[in-house]
Amino acid sequence: MKAKGRPNAPFSLSRKSDNPSVSIPFTVAHDPASLRRPTNLYSTSCCNMVNICGVWLWLAFACKCTFAQIQTFTPLGQNAITYSVNTPPSTSASGSGHIFIQTKSTREVRWFAVGQGIGMRGTNIFIVYTTGRNITVSPLLGAQHVETLYNPRARISVLSGSGIKNVVITANIRCDTCITWPGGKEDVTSPSSPWIWAVKYGPVLDSTSPSAVISMHDDFGLVSVNLKQATSGSSKNPFLNSSDMPTSSSAQAASTVSSQSTNKKRITHAVIMILVFVILFPLFTLGVPLFRSSRTVPIHACLQLSTLALRRRGLYNLIKQRKSDICKPIYPRGGSPLPPRAIDHARSIWKSPFTLTSRTINLVSPDIGMVVHYTTQSDDD
């Protein structure tokens, strides 16, 4: 092609179009001085790199805002079981709404569960068990002294992705009654929300009933979940394609209790308390009027001190179980015989008014403790 016009003036070029009769002109600035200036290739490359990095940073920020942040925790000693929680922004902002919960087990279990709360009483629990290739999610309400009860007022939905695949049991749950429930309330902005978990090993439960009879757990424990970091995303099911979403495992296990250690504590408590209340208490109480001798008082004093020491040890085991919410103390509310009463009784035997008081309290304190305990409990106990 040949440029037309003056050397320093703009010139027109034409290229072929689809229509041979039409030519499309281009106007190009022709500046011989600019053509002689060298091009800075290094500067151009740096600008391109900055632009590319900016695009990637923007995309990363957009992905973080779009995908759900999921809090996932694995209980201590339970590498095959994981639990996850996600809170939508609308629920976090308003303090009401729904949350998402996922339970997953890579091994066959009879059942496994997760719940909101510190102990059994008033805990909002979701227990998962299987039948065939399907799963059943049962909402339960924790109660004291009795097994957990089916909660028909719970509103939950089992979402897509739930089921059994390659021996992996997965339950994706949307819960609409996890902010407030009978006996409890959840703070979705809490950095340390208390949750509990439990598992029962053995053959599958093989039931589709949400009110199936549940046998006692083998292992259970407490965890602290950072719900504040679990808030983001607007997905209707954040656990679908969750491998592409950011997750966090900042939940901290507070404690894990196995059935073996639990049974040892119970047996120890039972043996000590039976020895104290069935044998030792009647022995040192009836020994004073029945076996009168010069050694009656020293023997009575030694038996009473030993009995009180054993009783304290039994109550200590019970308190340790109470921290794990295995059961609640029955006896302490009745009080214990005070050492001054025993000392005064040992000195004067029949002459002091503390004689009858000491014997009466030693005999009726267990009954008083049980009566006071059960009369002060709520109806769900």
Residue 129 has pLDDT above 60, yes or no: yes
The CATH homologous superfamily for domain 70-250 is Cellobiose dehydrogenase, cytochrome domain (2.60.40.1210)
Residue boundaries of the structural domains of the chain? 70-250, 262-375
217-263, pLDDT tens digit by residue?
888 888 888 888 888 766 788 888 655 444 455 555 544 455 555 66
- Report yes or no: 158 and 171 within 8 Å, Cβ to Cβ: yes
Say what the pLDDT of residue 297 is: 80
Entry pTM: 0.56
CA–CA separation, 160 and 352 (whole Å): 77
DSSP state of 242: G
- φ/ψ region of 198 (left if φ > 0, alpha if ψ in -120 to 50, else beta) reads beta
Say what the pLDDT of residue 335 is: 42
Residue 113 or residue 78, greater confidence:
113
Residue 339 or residue 196, greater confidence:
196
DSSP state of 217: P
- Report yes or no: 145 and 119 within 8 Å, Cβ to Cβ: no
Which is nearest to 161 in space by CA: 151, 169, 152? 169
188-204, pLDDT tens digit by residue?
888 889 999 999 999 99
Which is nearest to 371 in space by CA: 340, 336, 339, 331? 331
- Report yes or no: 197 and 220 within 8 Å, Cβ to Cβ: yes
Residue 352 has pLDDT above 90, yes or no: no
Residue 369 or residue 22, greater confidence:
369
Say what the pLDDT of residue 79 is: 86
61-79, pLDDT tens digit by residue?
444 444 457 888 888 878 8
Say what the pLDDT of residue 296 is: 80
Q: What is the mean pLDDT of the chain?
A: 72
Say what the pLDDT of residue 337 is: 47
- φ/ψ region of 117 (left if φ > 0, alpha if ψ in -120 to 50, else beta) reads left
